[in-house]
Structure 1
């Protein structure tokens, strides 16, 4: 007797896929306060950049696009190619220590340099009062950094019909391995390792630590390892308990604990520095790289020299390059 089979249904579909070209330009406006007061409708133009075979630029209006928007800074995208009609989508983002601020149209508007319709943008990009009330969020050393992403619609590809056989859809849930390991760490069940860090005790599993770190593997299972007739106890010096707790969390979950509500930006930066040292000490390369990325994003004039010294000491080339570039631009 033949085995039963799932019933099969036939589905046809077609798609019309637009051909697009995308480019990004970052426009840094140095001296925000110096440019205030140049007058409503006056703007500062970025360098010209090309996307999709057309020339573009970003226009920044410190005192607003017109009298109607005098309480705002306005940002526009300008098509500079002469006698051209282009449909293009644009994203305008103000980057800083806070989240990005987005401004974008809902569809592809037409830029027409023949009809003097070559300007499109965000006339209410950001209210100046909000911008100046939180300068540390948006103004880095009195500089605005505006990112413009332009997507040009070039042409359309004819629709092509396809036929597919539809089978029952079974959705596989995402892996919960990291959650299970986090609960294993929190519950201490089966822990065979006691770790003392500056007077604070942590419980862990030797096999997990050895699997994640070659240094722990040599220490716990190498020739000099203790016999594990009972729980093995090790001491870790020159590390803060809070830093080791975050380090242990990463070992079990491949992620950092949420520190946003517990630490201010200065304390978080210090924890990242100590975590980078711990990652280097225990050959945890992914954690080391994550710390580099976080420290790169948090560079400021007060900390950049110390961060550069840390990068040199622990052979962090990406962090070192970021520090040097920051010093060149802002110090």
Structure 2
């Protein structure tokens, strides 16, 4: 059973002895959740059989006492999305009353998107019954077909998605079984240090070191960069060979071999322990490229958490065109988890045959002999 939201209501009354008493009730906002797994077998056939704008409906499934279904458009739901797969959740029963629900459609391996507490943060949508010919809600651009076909998620001409649904039930009022506690005199807000450190970085107040990256200059604070986060910055800024001293305000620490936007993201992570908002949910090719650059920067400055975050992001972008270069990157920067993800993708003989013809694999064969030897050893074990 999903958690409920309970709002206590108080009304002081006078008892027979003149002392105040308290009555209480609760407003219960309940939810019910469930999910449906849809496996598309014969993906190529669905792509050729259904033109743009045409869909096939999944088998109906039940959540919160209502019937639902998934619309699958292999060639997109609209002319402008003809290069994409579209997926929509629809209310598929004749009941007249509408339903308010939150939902998420994801590949089955994206478990972080399937927790009810995660889905509860999504915008609620109003679903109408099938008698109204409501088109439902969903993703016009769920994934580009070319991206799916190059990825490891399409196996034996099949792929699988999961639709999680969180339905809001009607509000009800109940008597409270125990006297409600008085509200606290002091309410402590949640920690907000990352926001303050971000403002410190953006404002540049009391900055005591500057970095020249390409043609851009970044102001920062030695104690944040070195003392708390990076031993490499510690040696650079406080060691015997320290650069950019506070007394020499015109000098800059020169950073070579790095793009300004990568260094900016690196600073953002050091100050806030998170990626910039524009990159946190960036799942396209540009996001993968940025993750590669950030991984190199994280390894360079010994920021292990950032390095693991980039590894995890790159594991989601492995396909025929990228696996060889990703494997070379993983070998160069000692990313064992990322290497294992590449090896798992290459376990299919058909996939391996396709990858061998790419420029990336030819580069791998010339530059990363250890990775190539390890790949051969793993393939020989199968």
Classify the TM-score, shorter chain: 0.5 to 0.7
CA distance in 1, matches of 2:162, 2:315: 18
Equivalence for 1:53: none
Q: How many residues align?
A: 265
Cα deviation, residue 323, structure 1: 2.4
CA distance in 2, matches of 1:328, 1:162: 60
CA offset digits 1:274-294 (Å, max 9, x no partner): 100111111212211221222
Give SS of 2:346's match: helix
2:339 to 316, 320, 326: 320
Say if 1:9 and 1:166, in contact at 8 Å, map to a contact too.
no
Q: 1:149 to 1:271 in 2, by over 3 A?
A: closer
Scaled by the length of structure 1, the TM-score of the pair is 0.60
Mapping for residues 78-157 of structure 1, pairs under 5 Å: 102=89, 134-136=144-146, 143-147=158-162
Unmatched tracts of structure 2, length 5 or more:
1-11, 13-19, 75-83, 93-98, 101-129, 167-174, 352-382
2:311 to 284, 292, 300: 292
Q: 1:293 to 1:103 in 2, by over 3 A?
A: farther
- In the alignment, is residue 196 of structure 1 matched against residue 212 of structure 2? yes
CA offset digits 1:235-255 (Å, max 9, x no partner): 222212221111112212222
Cα deviation, residue 37, structure 1: 8.2
Give SS of 1:29's match: strand
Mapping for residues 6-17 of structure 1, pairs under 5 Å: 10=22, 12=24
Unmatched tracts of structure 1, length 5 or more:
1-6, 39-61, 64-69, 80-85, 108-120, 152-158
Equivalence for 1:246: 265
Q: 1:168 to 1:131 in 2, by over 3 A?
A: closer
Cα deviation, residue 266, structure 1: 2.8
CA distance in 2, matches of 1:88, 1:273: 45
Give SS of 1:298's match: coil
CA distance in 1, matches of 2:86, 2:266: 26
Please report the RMSD computed on the Cα atoms of aligned residues, expressed in angstroms. Answer: 4.9
Give SS of 2:217's match: strand
1:32 to 43, 50, 57: 43
Q: 1:286 to 1:77 in 2, by over 3 A?
A: farther
CA distance in 1, matches of 2:195, 2:85: 29
Give SS of 1:76's match: coil
Equivalence for 2:376: none
- In the alignment, is residue 177 of structure 1 matched against residue 193 of structure 2? yes
Q: Which has the higher strand share?
A: 1
Say if 2:229 and 2:303, in contact at 8 Å, map to a contact too.
yes
Scaled by the length of structure 2, the TM-score of the pair is 0.53
CA distance in 1, matches of 2:21, 2:86: 46
Q: Which has the higher helix share?
A: 2
Equivalence for 2:122: none
Say if 2:85 and 2:144, in contact at 8 Å, map to a contact too.
no
Between 183-192 and 173-182, report the one with greater CA deviation: 173-182
Say if 1:93 and 1:103, in contact at 8 Å, map to a contact too.
yes
Give SS of 1:212's match: coil
Equivalence for 1:233: 252
Equivalence for 2:229: 212
Give SS of 1:165's match: coil
Equivalence for 1:75: 58
Say if 1:91 and 1:102, in contact at 8 Å, map to a contact too.
yes
CA distance in 1, matches of 2:54, 2:71: 19
Give SS of 1:196's match: strand
CA distance in 2, matches of 1:327, 1:321: 10
Say if 1:15 and 1:161, in contact at 8 Å, map to a contact too.
no
Structure number with greater CO (CA < 8 Å, separation at least 6) is: 1
CA distance in 2, matches of 1:306, 1:200: 29
Say if 2:262 and 2:293, in contact at 8 Å, map to a contact too.
yes
